[in-house]
Each structure stands twice: as C-alpha cells, then as structure tokens.
Amino acid sequence: MPIKLTEKDFEQTIVKAIDSLPEGILRLMESGNLSISYANEPTEDQRADLKNKDGDILGLHTGAPKQSSLGPIGSWPSFIYIFQLAVEKRCDTVEQVQDFVRGILLHEIGHFFGMTEAQLTEIGQLSSVGEKSNGTTN
C-alpha cells in the first residue's frame, strides 16, 4: 500500500534525509545558493521543460549548475524540488520515504554540481531512484 503523509510529515522526512547526507556535501551545498523545496507535483511550466512529460517526476533541479557558463556556484540561485505524490506512490513506510528522498536529493545535488544524467547513471545514483521505481528524476 502506498503511504500517505501529511505535508508536515513529508517535510520532516526531507529534513531527516538532508541531515543524513555526508557532511562534506552539506558544506558544499551551503557554499552555493541552493534551496531545497517540495510540492505535490510539478507545475505545468516545470513539466513543459522535461523530456518525460507524462511520467511521474520524483525530483527536479533547476537553476545554474556549478559548472555552468552563467558563473560560479553561488552567483545564481538553484533549486531542488521533491514531489510528494510520486514519492508516496513508491513507498510503504516512512523509512522508505526517507531513503527514497535521500536518493533523489543525491541525484539532484549531482546536477547542482554540474553532473549530467549519463554521469549520474554511471555512478548508480539514478538507478537507485529511477529504475527500481519506474519514475524519473530530472
């Protein structure tokens, strides 16, 4: 049975997932202009920019990656979104949600540091989120 969390509980799992990230990554994130947010699902505008327009979107990174030609990290705002409905569909327990969100965060943080989809697949960060779940991270 897919889990159903209140917005508050979902937010809590995101906070815990962030807390569980390696300290080195957290420090790098703090040095950038990066916000982590969540919503039920992507907006029409967010979806319009994606290749997988009709599938479930688990997470999304928008804004300038670190290695962007727009400038160095921190000079442009960057956002990571986690989408609650798609995550809940794939999880039965709060622990699973937390693990799942952690995987999405690592994937999106990879994009934040300028990694491509192919590079993330190579190091297994997408497969831990995407393949198992049949959902997409962008």
Residues engaged in binding Zn ion (CB under 5 A): 117, 137-138
Least distance to Zn ion from the beta carbon of 1, Å?
28
DSSP state of 52: -
Residues 56 and 136: beta-carbon distance below 8 Å: yes
Of all residues in the shown chain, the one whose CB is closest to Zn ion is 137
Closest to Zn ion by CB, 58 vs 91, is: 58
The closest of 46, 128, 112, 42 to 74, measured between CA atoms, is 112
- Provide the 3-class DSSP secondary structure of residue 34: strand
CB of 15 to Zn ion, least distance (A): 22
Nearer to Zn ion, 3 or 113 (CB): 113
82 in Cβ contact with 105 (< 8 Å): yes
Query: 1 vs 48, which CB is nearer to Zn ion?
Result: 48
CB 72 within 8 A of CB 66: yes
Residues found in the chain: 138
Q: Which residue lies nearer to Zn ion by CB, 84 or 137?
A: 137
- The least distance separating Zn ion from the CB of residue 6, rounded to whole angstroms, comes to 28
Estimate to the nearest angstrom the gap between the alpha carbon of 135 and the chain centroid.
12
Task: State the minimum distance, in angstroms, from the CB of residue 80 to Zn ion.
Answer: 11
